[in-house]
Amino acid sequence: MTKVITYGTFDLLHYGHTNLLKRAKDLGDYLIVGVTAEAYDMARGKINVKQSLSERIENVRETGLADEIIVEEYEGQKIDDIRRYGADIFAIGSDWKGKFDYLSDYCKVVYLDRTKGISSTELRSEERKLSVGLIGDASWLDKYRMQARFVNGMEIEGIATPDTTMLTPELSELPVITSDISDLLQKVDAVVIASDPSLHEKQIRQALEAGKHVLCESPFALTPEAGDSLVAYAQERGLVLQDAIKTAYSTAFHRLVLLVKGGKIGKVVSVDATCTSLRYSKTDDSITGANWGGMGEWGPIALLPIFQILGTDYTSSQIITRGEKGFVHEGEFTKIDFVYPSAVASMKVATGVKSEGELVISGTDAYVYVPAPWWKTDYFEIRYENPADNKRYFYQLDGEGFRFELITFAQAIANGASNSYISRDISRSLCKIMGEYYLGTNILQIR
């Protein structure tokens, strides 16, 4: 029996895919089809996939051409699969010609002509364009502009910012430049908000009332109840309201959380996250634009691993802060300690104060170490008592997480349902903690 193996994303399955599978099937007696997982697609920069893995597998199954369907999850798996399944022929589309010649050491390699005039990329590009506006004063708004270029159908139409003189040259070239949010809302389908957290609730509501979808840097508001109200309003109007924390969309960070929650390091007893920057130092007299302070810029990011790993049912918390919010010339620093029934957690954030920006998760069998800057996670280690048992994990991170954050937002709008990587209970807890900081409750002030 001659076994043939082929691979693909098979997104928006069309007759071109079917023809390719038929040609592969004709090469032998048994066809194995590898469907790439979302994480692997993300790792190799293919983030415009519209359908879930289960949908794509089912589409391949319904063709009736695959004798066996497997999932491709990592670099180098093709060699492992050829050996494991005893494949005699590796078949792939001719647009990959030459790329897989190295597999000829393991089996015969055949490049199949693709059906002309049809591709998943073309089908995706034919979809309605999604016009997006930027709202706020964050330095990373330009990163949203840059990463939107990789999202099929998404176009950044303009920006609403308090100080239009502080825009990067690229943002200054957008069709709409205004300091009035209402002007921008007339020209777009959706908005990305990255402004001082105290402004979020008002800006989100204004966008929702104008019928626009919203991707907003956490938190939505400064109380859980206010956040709930915004979410309910968005649902009533059939609009998407989604938290934006780029780290949540990092493949490595997502994998880290799954491993830890799956018991890879035993029972978790501590989570410690640090995010600091000296970008605003007391010797810097050239500070321009908005400064939200350490909590405004870093708070939700540092809180993310604590809530995703330990949950949001902590028994007590204490916020300790030094300096005034946004007054970074004296070093604005905040530390928050959490106590859980069987674990503890701590986060430190600052502007104008520097520390090692690492993430450490302690367990009864091992611990996870993510080096600075951990919020741009592309690598982490699981360290055991015996160093010989240590495991290292590497994942490509394209666009610092902004890219996949945007594609997930676009998919939610297209599908009419939120698929955020940040759950509602975490979103509510972010509103609560950030609100306690901004409203001055549960705070111990030090000098």
Q: What is the pLDDT of residue 220?
A: 97
Report strand pairing: 3-8 vs 30-36.
Answer: parallel
C-alpha to C-alpha distance for 76 and 280, rounded to whole angstroms: 44
Q: Mark whether 131 and 169 lie in a shared domain.
A: yes
C-alpha to C-alpha distance for 176 and 206, rounded to whole angstroms: 18
Q: Mark whether 260 and 392 lie in a shared domain.
A: yes
pLDDT tens-digit map of 407-442: 889 878 977 777 788 999 999 999 999 999 999 888
As for how many domains the chain has, the answer is: 3
Cβ contacts of 373 within 8 Å, gap of 6 or more: 275, 357
Count other C-beta atoms under 10 Å from residue 294's C-beta: 31
Angle between helices 424-439 and 293-310 (to 10 degrees): 150
Q: What is the pLDDT of residue 289?
A: 45
C-alpha to C-alpha distance for 113 and 123, rounded to whole angstroms: 19
Q: Mark whether 9 and 40 lie in a shared domain.
A: yes
Residue 288 lies in a domain: yes
C-alpha angle 187-191-194 in degrees, rounded to nearest 5: 135
Q: Last residue of some domain: 122, 154, 169?
A: 122
Write the CATH number for 142: 3.40.50.720
Report strand pairing: 379-383 vs 367-370.
Answer: antiparallel
Residue 405 lies in a domain: no
C-alpha to C-alpha distance for 405 and 398, rounded to whole angstroms: 11
Write the CATH number for 376: 3.30.360.10
* pTM, rounded to two decimals: 0.76
Residue 406 lies in a domain: no
Q: Mark whether 78 and 55 lie in a shared domain.
A: yes
Q: Last residue of some domain: 122, 149, 171?
A: 122
Q: Mark whether 156 and 63 lie in a shared domain.
A: no
Count other C-beta atoms under 10 Å from residue 278's C-beta: 15
Residue 67 lies in a domain: yes
Q: What is the pLDDT of residue 118?
A: 52
For 125, the token pair is 């590009």
Q: Mark whether 135 and 206 lie in a shared domain.
A: yes
C-alpha to C-alpha distance for 225 and 232, rounded to whole angstroms: 10
Name the residue range of residue 319's domain: 251-396
Q: Mark whether 102 and 149 lie in a shared domain.
A: no
Write the CATH number for 33: 3.40.50.620
Q: Mark whether 112 and 11 lie in a shared domain.
A: yes
C-alpha to C-alpha distance for 433 and 220, rounded to whole angstroms: 12
Q: Mark whether 95 and 132 lie in a shared domain.
A: no
Regions in the chain scoring below 50 on pLDDT? 45-46, 123-124, 281-289, 327-329
Q: Based on the number of CB atoms within 10 Å of its own CB, is 24 exposed (0-12), middle (13-18) or buried (19 or more)?
A: buried
Q: Mark whether 131 and 118 lie in a shared domain.
A: no
Q: Mark whether 215 and 275 lie in a shared domain.
A: no
C-beta of residue 66 within 8 angstroms of C-beta of residue 6: no
3-state secondary structure the chain: CCEEEEEECCCCCCHHHHHHHHHHHHCCCEEEEEEECHHHHHHCCCCCCCCCHHHHHHHHHHCCCCCEEEEECCCCHHHHHHHHHCCCEEEEEHHHCCCCHHHHHCCEEEEECCCCCCCHHHHHHCCCCEEEEEEECCCCHHHHHHHHCCCCCEEEEEEECCCHHHCCCCHHHCCEEECCHHHHHCCCCEEEEECCHHHHHHHHHHHHHCCCEEEEECCCCCCHHHHHHHHHHHHHCCCCEEEECHHHHCHHHHHHHHHHHCCCCCCEEEEEEEEEECCCCCCCCCCCCCCCHHHHHHHHHHHHHHHHHHCCCCCEEEEEEECCCCCHHHCEEEEEEEECCCCEEEEEEEECECCCCCEEEEECCCEEEECCCHHHCCEEEEECCCHHHCEEEECCCCHHHHHHHHHHHHHHHHHCCCCCCCCHHHHHHHHHHHHHHHHCCCEEEEC
Short-list 241, 235, 240, 237, CA closest to 219: 241
Q: How many C-alpha atoms does 239 have within 13 Å on its Cβ side?
A: 23
Q: Based on the number of CB atoms within 10 Å of its own CB, is 175 exposed (0-12), middle (13-18) or buried (19 or more)?
A: exposed
Cβ contacts of 24 within 8 Å, gap of 6 or more: 4, 6, 31, 65, 91, 112
Q: Which residues pair with 272 in a beta bridge?
A: 346, 360
Q: Mark whether 257 and 153 lie in a shared domain.
A: no
132 vs 41, 406, 443, CA distance in Å?
A: 25, 10, 38
Q: Based on the number of CB atoms within 10 Å of its own CB, is 386 exposed (0-12), middle (13-18) or buried (19 or more)?
A: exposed
Residue 419 lies in a domain: no
Residue 403 lies in a domain: no
Residue 437 lies in a domain: no
Q: Last residue of some domain: 105, 122, 139?
A: 122
C-alpha to C-alpha distance for 329 and 331, rounded to whole angstroms: 6
Residue 385 lies in a domain: yes
